[in-house]
């Protein structure tokens, strides 16, 4: 079963509105989660590192005021796309590293969220 759950899987919103995407670690605590974005036929690009209890760390070129990240608990990180525009339409996906005693850190991905801004 899923280890990291992401919701919603698909969302359509109007231009100018905000959309929240949730990423949950289901059976482990994740002090760090990562948010990626993937445009068609392109690689997944890291947007930001979500840190529980502190501010997110954004990659160069990613607007922190537009992509709000909140990591309020050890199992939940949220990404809010504010004032969405059609060019924000993309596949957004989160990941979380889980420490596995038998094999060290393993990185689990959420199912991803398809955002379409109309």
Partner 1 sequence: RKEVEQDPGPFNVPEGATVAFNCTYSNSASQSFFWYRQDCRKEPKLLMSVYSSGNEDGRFTAQLNRASQYISLLIRDSKLSDSATYLCVVTLTTDSWGKLQFGAGTQVVVTP
User: Which range in 11-19, 38-46, 60-68, 71-79 contacts partner 1 by CB under 8 A?
Assistant: 38-46
112 binds partner 1, rule: CB under 8 A: yes
Phi-psi domain of 109 (left: phi exceeds 0; alpha: psi -120 through 50; beta: other) = beta
* Look-up of token digits 């801004």: 117
How distant is the alpha carbon of residue 66 from its chain centre?
A: 14
Give yes or no for residue 3 binding partner 1 (CB under 8 A). no
110 binds partner 1 (CB under 8 A): yes
For position 23 contacting partner 1 by CB under 8 A, the verdict is no
CA distance 43 to 105: 23
Q: C-alpha distances in angstroms, 115 versus 8, 23, 47, 48, 55?
A: 9, 15, 15, 17, 24
Q: Are 67 and 79 in contact (CB under 8 A)?
A: yes
Interface map 59-98 toward partner 1 (x if CB under 8 A): --------------------------------x-x-xxx-
- Confirm if 20 and 79 have CB atoms less than 8 A apart: yes
Question: Applying CB under 8 A, which of residues 3, 11, 13, 45 lies at the interface with partner 1?
Answer: 45
Q: Given the complex with partner 1, which of 13 and 44 has the nearer CB atom?
A: 44
Query: Site residues (CB under 8 A) for partner 1?
Result: 32, 34, 36, 41-46, 49, 91, 93, 95-97, 105-107, 109-112, 114
């Amino acid at each position: 079963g899923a280890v990291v759950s992401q919701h919603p899987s698909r969302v359509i919103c109007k231009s100018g509105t905000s959309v929240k995407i949730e990423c949950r670690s289901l059976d482990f605590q994740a002090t760090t989660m990562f948010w990626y974005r993937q445009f068609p036929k392109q690689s997944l690009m890291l947007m930001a590192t979500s840190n529980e209890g502190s501010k997110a760390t954004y990659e160069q070129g990613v607007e922190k005021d537009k992509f709000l990240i909140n990591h309020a608990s050890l199992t939940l990180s949220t990404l809010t796309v504010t004032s969405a525009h059609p060019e924000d339409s993309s596949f957004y996906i989160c990941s979380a590293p889980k420490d596995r005693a038998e094999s060290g850190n393993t990185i689990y991905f959420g199912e991803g969220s398809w955002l379409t801004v109309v």
